[in-house]
Each structure stands twice: as structure tokens, then as C-alpha cells.
Amino acid sequence: MGAQWKAKHKDVAANAKGRLFGKLAKEIMMAARNGADPGSNARLRLVVEQARKVSMPKDTLDRAIKKGAGLTGESVHFDHVMYEGFAPHRVAVMVECLTDNVNRTAPEMRVLFRKGQLGTSGSVSWDFDHLGMIEAEPATKDADAEVAAIEAGAQDFEPGAEEGTSLFLTEPADLDLVSRALPAQGFTVLSAKLGYRPKNPVDPATLSAEDLEEVEAFLAAIDANDDVQNVYVGLAG
């Protein structure tokens, strides 16, 4: 789980397709406030690439860009809010939200955290590193992740979430630079975003199967909330 929790079960993943598009549309609208051209807006370019990789319909993508850039005459405003606390069994959790109504989201988070513990700002973020995270796969058979990390300017690398992929870790400010440099090193970028990585993750093996199931159920409920963009959890693996 490590850097970012993702639902494991196929039925959950299948049902989450529309929700994924909704979350990406929000990120696109936020990024497009700084310009509708991905060529001159690095943040927008990265999100657009991610949306295309998951086959977001072109009209949905274009509409989100225009709406965020103010080209449709509609007013778009989202607040970026972080909630920190613990899942059951004292597993640290950071929840990243984009909401158009904090007065709705805050009580919803309080309810969702009843099976864990909602903390104050800074209560668990001290135990996470804020990093750029780039998942990429080799485009050539001789592509070497270690060499690519050094040449592209990444801080570190490790096996990615999907088999055969690598996760390149960067300073937040270097995310776009490294993302642009990796193709020249033989890697195809699958996703690139800022995120949080636990410094002292809990080994899932120290939890019983029943306890781990409780944690997974808690995380799934959090992730299902429409205002939640990302869930970062202090579990290894």
C-alpha cells in the first residue's frame, strides 16, 4: 500500500471507473485555472496525460479543461483540504480532498473516521514525506531503472504498483522535469503526481487477517467519498 492506497478487489475497481473520471476531472479543472494549454501548463499536462492513460472520453476531458479555464462562463471553485488521523489499529492515514463545500465534507469525514480516529492538522503528516511520484514502465528491453533515475534527476526508485513498472521518487518541484526526462532514458510515464509516503510504515504481517480486513474496509469507505481525491496510508508493501 505504501504511498497511496488503491482498492484491490476487481469488483470495487470496476465500479470505481466513473469515480476515477470524476476525480481526474476535478484535478483537470484545478490545473486549468492556470491556463488551458497543456504545453505551457505543466500541472495540466501531467493530469491530462494521466486521464488519457485511463481512457477518459475526449469530450469529458475537453469540457473539464474549458470549465476550469473559465471558457464556459461557469464558476468553478474547489478547496484543497487534508484530513489526518488513524485507521483502525493505529494505522496512519492522510486523506486529500477537493471539495466545493467544506461544510459538507468536514462532517462526512468525521463520520467516516468514527471507526478510526480523526486527528488535527500535523498529527500524522510529520511521519510522511511529500514527494513527486512517477510510475513508469520500460519502453525498451535494456532500460535500466537505476540509470534512468540518476540521469533523469530522481531521488530514488523502487518497484511500482503494477508488475514490471518502476516508481521514481522526486522532490516536489522536480516532478515535471523528471517526468519529461524519463522517456529519453527508455521509460514510458504512466502517471505523475505529488503525494505522501510514510516514513515508518506498519508491516501488514504484524496485523491479523481480521485486523487488516478492518483497515481495508475503513480505507474503502473513505475512498468512496466523492470529495476524496487520494488516500495515503502508513502501511508497507
Supply the range of the domain harboring residue 180. 127-198
Report the 3 state secondary structure along the chain.
Answer: CCCCCCCCCHHHHHHCHHHHHHHHHHHHHHHHCCCCCCCCCHHHHHHHHHHHHCCCCHHHHHHHHHHHCCCCCCCCCCEEEEEEEEEHHHEEEEEEEEECCHHHHHHHHHHHHHHCEECCCCCCHHHEEEEEEEEEEECCCCCCHHHHHHHHCCCEEEECCCCCCEEEEECHHHHHHHHHHHHHHCEEEEEEEEEEEECCCECHHHCCHHHHHHHHHHHHHHHCCCCEEEEEECECC
Same domain, 117 and 216: yes
Check: CB of residue 158 under 8 Å from CB of residue 167: yes
The answer to whether residue 1 sits within a structural domain is no
Residues 118 and 150 in one domain: no
Number of domains, the chain:
3
Q: In this predicted structure, what is the pLDDT of residue 73?
A: 85
Residue 4 lies in a domain: no
Give the separation between CA 142 and CA 202, rounded to whole angstroms. 35
Q: Are residues 213 and 100 in the same domain?
A: yes
**Does residue 3 belong to any structural domain of this protein?**
no
Q: Tell me if 53 sits within 8 A of 191, measured CB to CB.
A: yes
134 and 174 assigned to the same domain: yes
> Could you tell me the mean pLDDT of each successive run of 10 residues in the chain, 237 residues long?
53 64 92 90 87 90 93 86 96 95 96 95 95 92 93 92 89 93 93 91 94 95 93 91
What CA–CA distance (Å, rounded) separates 123 from 134? 27
Do 136 and 191 fall into the same domain?
Answer: yes
CB 207 within 8 A of CB 215: yes
In a domain, 102, yes or no: yes
Domain membership flag for residue 5: no
Q: Are residues 54 and 107 in the same domain?
A: no
Please tell me whether residues 26 and 56 are part of one structural domain.
yes
* CATH number, domain containing residue 228: 3.30.70.980
116 and 29 in a common domain: no
Q: At which of 31, 46, 68 does a domain end? A: 68
Does the residue 33 lie in any domain? yes
Q: Provide the whole-model pTM.
A: 0.83
Read off the pLDDT of residues 157-178 as tens digits, 9 standing for 90 and up: 998 878 889 999 999 999 989 9
**110 and 213 share one domain:** yes
Domain assignment present for residue 147? The answer is yes
